[in-house]
Amino acid sequence: MDKRDAGGLAAVPEHGVLLFDGVCNLCNGAVDFILRRERAPRLRFASLQSGCARRLLAGSGIDPERLETLVFVRGSEVYVRSDAVLAVCGELRAPWRWLRVFRVLPRGLRDGIYRFVGGRRYRWFGKRDSCRMPTPEEKERFLG
């Protein structure tokens, strides 16, 4: 797994925080997908553009100004690119959590596909003018 140290942050919710590009339509669609398919409503979310992301990524070696990856922070571990996607899949209901089987593929191959799609996400899926605003029902799940 491509894991990094989160700098011993005690403020990370137990089940993790997914940091996503708040203006990317693909990323926002992924958040909506996750919200509808979680086994239990326990993940938290924050845009990479937020102060929360800056605090969580401090000391991890990940620059929140470079928005080329999803980041999943759980405890002291920070997952990026395909490892973040597969870690989040573990929080979903079947059959979606079965996608973790792709961990057997070499990370270089998985991350190559991730980078290919990620490099074209704005062109293919579009971009918002501002970060996603959670609905009133979602508000407690989103960190600022």
Does residue 53 belong to any structural domain of this protein? yes
Please state whether 130 falls in left (phi above 0), alpha (psi between -120 and 50) or beta.
Answer: beta
Does residue 141 belong to any structural domain of this protein? no
Does residue 142 belong to any structural domain of this protein? no
Does residue 49 belong to any structural domain of this protein? yes
pLDDT, tens digit only, all 144 positions of the chain: 444 444 444 456 677 999 999 889 999 999 999 999 999 889 999 998 888 888 888 877 777 777 678 999 988 888 999 999 999 999 999 999 999 999 999 999 999 999 999 999 999 999 988 777 888 888 888 987
d(CA 128, CA 71): 20
Residue 67 confidence (pLDDT): 66
pTM: 0.86
Number of domains making up the chain: 1
Domain enclosing residue 31, as ranges: 3-131
d(CA 57, CA 139): 22
Does residue 140 belong to any structural domain of this protein? no
Quote the tokens at residue 5. 């140290």
Does residue 127 belong to any structural domain of this protein? yes
Does residue 144 belong to any structural domain of this protein? no
CB atoms under 10 Å from CB of 25, counted, come to 16
d(CA 102, CA 31): 20
CB-based burial, 70-95: b 16+ in 10 Å, e otherwise: bbbbbeebbbbbbbbbbbbbbbbeee
Does residue 27 belong to any structural domain of this protein? yes
